[in-house]
Amino acid sequence: KTNGVLLDEENIRRFSECPPTGIDVSLYGYNPESYKAVTGHDVFARVVENIKNAVAAGINVRLMVTPNRYIYPWIDDVLEFAAGFKIPVNVNSILLRAREGITRSIDDYGLSQSEYIYVAKKRKMMFNNIVNDDMEQITDESVIHEITGLQCAAARRAFTVNWEGVMLPCLAFPKELISEDPTVLGFDEAFSRMNKAVKEFGSPEECSECSHKMKCHYCPVKHGEHALKHSCDPEFCDMWKRILDI
């Protein structure tokens, strides 16, 4: 993942010689004004040029748009601009809480329920999907009964090592629930333990009676502090049901 500023000619040449599976480039605006308002930096033209050059060089580029309080005033234009590149676009469904040690909070940059739902409708209309996340849910009914625990890619084919060197199932997974130390256990053992833990992680009792249980899967990241009590955040559930019903 990159903001695209350093995806310059030299790095594109290196990636062309040793192609990565893909490169995700965050898009923070649709013109110099919006880009600078969101990031504080006047580098819109450079980022756009770098994206075009990388695509022309045959590199698999995906644009990442993260709706938030700062970009929301231009969200329609940003999504239209992203679609114009004619390459894959990922519009994040939710915002993650800021990591420990950061002074900002999700109250500063988060959206309201109605704003999240508006973005979901735009995503459906423009990109023909409602939820567009890397940690996709396993929904194939022919195999879903064989899947135990968390029904996503976390600690199955993905993992994160945070700033403290702690291995987590995914970027924002609560370390209080599942985490391992690869510097002590070694990579293989740490991942093996995490994999076992996510397979044994059961959904809260509320999920078993939920009308949307076949459309949704329990994600501790999305339920914040409620997840630490192994329960659901009612406010989030209400919003998520409305999004899934679009």
Model confidence at 135: pLDDT above 90: no
Q: Return the percentage of the chain with pLDDT > 90, whole number.
A: 74
Contact 133, 244 (CB under 8 A): no
- Residues with Cβ within 8 Å of residue 108, at least 6 apart in sequence: 69
d(CA 132, CA 88): 11
Question: What is the CB neighbour count within 10 angstroms for residue 48?
Answer: 20
Query: Averaged over 71-83, what is the pLDDT?
Result: 97
Helices 234-244, 113-127: crossing angle, 10 deg rounding: 30
Please, what is the Cα angle at 107 between 103 and 111, to 5 degrees?
135
Select the more confidently predicted residue: 31 or 135. 31
- Residues with Cβ within 8 Å of residue 7, at least 6 apart in sequence: 23, 25, 47, 50, 51, 53, 54
d(CA 141, CA 164): 38
**pTM of the entire predicted model:** 0.82
Model confidence at 57: pLDDT above 90: yes
Question: What is the CB neighbour count within 10 angstroms for residue 40?
Answer: 9
| Candidate ranges 52-61, 124-133, 221-230; pick with highest mean pLDDT | 52-61
Q: How confident is the model at residue 146 (pLDDT cuts 50, 70, 90)?
A: low
pLDDT for the residue numbered 195: 96
CA quadruple 176, 149, 159, 86: dihedral sign: negative
Question: What is the CB neighbour count within 10 angstroms for residue 245?
Answer: 11
Q: How confident is the model at residue 97 (pLDDT cuts 50, 70, 90)?
A: confident
| Candidate ranges 128-142, 188-202, 204-218; pick with highest mean pLDDT | 188-202
Query: Averaged over 80-100, what is the pLDDT?
Result: 88
Query: Averaged over 101-125, what is the pLDDT?
Result: 87
